[in-house]
Chains A and B, each alone.
Chain A
């Protein structure tokens, strides 16, 4: 059996002088899987992201990548932030090149690798533009390209489409699924949007109680490739209803 791409093993975490946020949590994500994590604001989503990418370390237990317990996860999980966080003084090409530069690849070599990818990511004609010249959706494409170029087999996407308008959002979701099918990477997608979570993921994890002892898990009853109208199938609506009730109970 192959190793899990990401595994939390009896993981506990709390900030100093505060109650624990996570208590002996066990979660495993399989290679190539698309997983959504959903929760209301303040449910520990951002802490979970910090733990996964390695900005925070668990107080007890461990986080394993591909079965290995790495001393430092920074640089091993690709991260796509909520705002695009493109560096305004870098061109699109140089923004995409950032993770490669940090890994020690020369600028020239980095550019050679990125230029063919720009087309593939629907970014043709943007290479010498600055981020401020691009629309929100295009900027998120650059941001995703940059995340992919981190070279990590596991990517963590933190509400990347939450700032986009509804129409752009849907087309970006479809675009993301196409990209994921092409790249074959493992994706963890944090969101607060139930439709988004269901449309994208194989499995949805719900953050409910605090401290979090286990994640409620829902397998999405849809096949791939998915179409937008799948969101209105009877099976899915049933799952969605359950999820909504689950989430609502955490707020009151």
Chain B
């Protein structure tokens, strides 16, 4: 099905409506430091664009990209290992699931103790929060092909390596992308939390600093950029998926 401008009409109208409502309520209350109006936030964004885009945006982006990269390597690596070895699966799978019950935000201060205010304390939080969706989705994907396909390849004389490369990996790729989509949006949260707790630069750090100064618009301005990063990353993954999985469009 082709997407047309009509598909965007409903969500766009809703967003505009909400912003108008927000603007109206904010003006009614009239306390900028608690509830700045959207126009005030945009004004602030324009006013401090220099420092936001030259200092804090690159700092946060570096955390996100580094964290995501390591997460993909570790997550895919563990998924492959669990698929290849029954013992690895039995050992890590339950651990991985139960690890998700640990509130990562509560753990984050520990990383500040370990790594200080360096890049790595923030990267560690980002990895913790993005690792799970990548590993679990990839692993489920590696297991998703049916028994019949496996039997068919075996009758062709396929080795374990053939099964893995020609069957398990290709059938895992759509699942991997699903995991990655969740992970990229979470990565923004991870980076922001990390920066909240201890940093010298970054959008999360800047937002918090503005809060201590009762600058409501200053709190929201970096959040707008954070959300923009999340949306861009998501669209980027979707585009990559479209390009690499042409066959899915025919289904």
A102 near B158 with CB under 8 A, answer yes
Contact of B166 among A53, A102, A132 (CB under 8 A): A102
A102 near B152 with CB under 8 A, answer no
Contact of A87 among B162, B170, B246, B250 (CB under 8 A): B170
Stretch at the interface among A16-24, A75-83, A218-226: A75-83
Query: Is B46 among interface residues, defined by CB-CB distance under 8 A?
Result: no
User: Could you mark each residue 148-163 of chain B with 1 if its beta carbon is under 8 Å from any beta carbon of chain A, else 0?
Assistant: 1101111111100010
A85 near B148 with CB under 8 A, answer yes
B130-161 residues at the A interface, CB under 8 angstroms = 148-149, 151-158
A102 near B162 with CB under 8 A, answer yes
Contact of B170 among A89, A101, A150 (CB under 8 A): A89
Query: Is A180 among interface residues, defined by CB-CB distance under 8 A?
Result: no
Contact of B155 among A75, A88, A130 (CB under 8 A): A75
Contacts of A90 in B (CB 8 A): 170, 247
Q: For the side of the interface on B, what is the size category?
A: 20 to 34
Q: Which residue of B lies closest to A156 (CB)?
A: B155
A98 near B166 with CB under 8 A, answer yes
Please report the C-alpha to C-alpha distance between residue A12 and residue B155 in the assembled complex, in whole angstroms. Answer: 21
B151 near A75 with CB under 8 A, answer no
Interface hub of B148, B155, B171, B246 (most chain A Cβ within 10 A): B155
Query: Is B7 among interface residues, defined by CB-CB distance under 8 A?
Result: no
Q: Which residue of B lies closest to A101 (CB)?
A: B166
Contacts of B247 in A (CB 8 A): 88-90, 130, 132
Contacts of B246 in A (CB 8 A): 130
- 29 A-B pairs with C-beta separation under 8 A: A53-B155, A55-B151, A74-B154, A74-B155, A74-B156, A75-B156, A75-B157, A76-B157, A77-B155, A79-B152, A79-B156, A81-B151, A85-B149, A85-B152, A87-B166, A87-B170, A89-B170, A89-B171, A89-B173, A90-B170, A102-B158, A102-B166, A103-B156, A129-B250, A130-B246, A132-B247, A133-B250, A150-B155, A150-B156
Closest 3 CB pairs of A and B: A75-B157, A79-B155, A99-B156
Q: Which residues of A contact B (CB under 8 A)?
A: 50, 53-55, 74-79, 81, 83, 85, 87-90, 98-99, 101-103, 129-130, 132-133, 150
